[in-house]
Structure 1
């Protein structure tokens, strides 16, 4: 019997679009960093951002490596500015970067009403490839924080889906077994594979594909108003 529902965050609950390649972002951020004695041109900043991410991936021993974006900016600031910065400074820089790259941000329709009803009968948690420094405030902004006390973010762990450890950690947090768990998500390659490897059932959101690498999801939906019916049919 299913007693816990785990959700992916971005692309599943939150409809989001960002643009990390917009030159305007780095022009604004370069000017901001100059107030913290960081001397780096917009072009150099953009190149440094993607190079640092690439370097972290290459140096990681994980099969599916993840970065902590606030640490990325910390390293850029150290290389182009002072020898030491308070955590608040590079974390604020990361948050400013996020706000500058944001192009679209809202919940998918009917998410809040659906979660309100599901919370009455199930334990719920988040499993997401996400930057914790962004995800917490963004969940609070959209009112999701009240539904999810337990949140597993890849950026805190250094690895991302489909690494089965994210799913195992989430189930441990809620004290449930794989056969008691189901994952609601949107990406067959990462989400379906990870959930199935962990022994969970899986329902895909807005996906044309129910199958990946010989793994098959239990269902698919395009509108949150029908999710409960799908859950009832499966469970």
Structure 2
């Protein structure tokens, strides 16, 4: 960006690493032990090691089946299938898939909080059209954003799980521009991933800044 850039009418943020500081561990067997124990009370019996291996395998298969260059899946659908196959009594697989995805996230979570400097950026741009474009799972990411007081401050949020593909697929940015009803030149993208949040938006004609550069530029 330079002083010659057109005025910013809308701002798009990445979520994790930009607005929200998060740390999860989906490899730790303890994550699956917690979920396996929780599932006992939902009518599903599966050993932690089997749960880990099956979940990892099913996600990989589902991603491959999409045929997308930057594929995404809905993890609640993965868990729904696993629960249905390992149910001890009759269950509502769709509902339990959603609840299992959230329980899995809770079990894997090690750190979660708002990045204060980026929250001040939200304050700074509050009069403009604001949205989030995130490679994330709506089933639990929306809950996290709501709990941290971010979601309702935004005009819209697009998660990759909504669309079946991730950044840097150009369609995800186009979807956001359509929601804003602005041209690419009028929109600033702010994020922490150079490829997804800076290079790709710029290729579409958007303005873009790494989040740390934005903190400096806007003096937060």
Same fold (TM over 0.5): yes
Question: Is the 2:185–2:205 contact (alpha carbons within 8 Å) kept by the matching residues of 1?
Answer: yes
2:160 is matched with 154
Counterpart pick for 1:132 among 138, 141, 165? 138
Distance 1:27 1:92 in 2: 16
Please state how far the C-alpha of 1:35 moved relative to its aligned partner. 2.4
- Runs of 5+ unmatched residues, structure 1: 207-219, 231-235
The counterpart of 2:211, out of the listed 202, 205, 210, is: 205
Give TM-score, length-normalised by structure 1: 0.85
Find the counterpart in structure 1 of residue 15 from structure 2: 9
What displacement does 1:67 show? Answer: 1.2
**Residue 32 (str. 1) matches residue 4 (str. 2):** no
Partner of 1:58: 64
The alignment status of 1:106 with 2:96, answered yes or no, reads: no
Q: What per-residue deviation string (whole Å, max 9, x for no partner) do you get for residues 50-109 of structure 1?
A: 111110111111110011111111111122226762533221111111111111111112
2:55 corresponds to which residue? 49
Q: Deviations over 1:174-207 (max 9, x none)?
A: 110001111001111222232123221110124x
Matched, 1:176 2:146: no
Q: RMSD between aligned alpha carbons?
A: 1.8
**Alignment check: 8 A CA contact 2:59 2:73 kept:** yes
Question: Which residue is 1:233 aligned to?
Answer: none
Matched, 1:97 2:87: no
Is the Cα contact below 8 Å between 2:13 and 2:132 reproduced in 1?
yes
**TM superposition score normalised by structure 2:** 0.90
Cα distance change of structure 1 residues 188 and 111 upon mapping to structure 2, 3 Å threshold: closer
Instruction: Give the match for residue 202 of structure 2.
Output: 196
Q: Is contact 1:164-1:197 (8 Å) kept?
A: no
The 5 A counterparts of 1:57-76 are 57-76=63-82
Give 1 or 2: higher helix fraction.
2
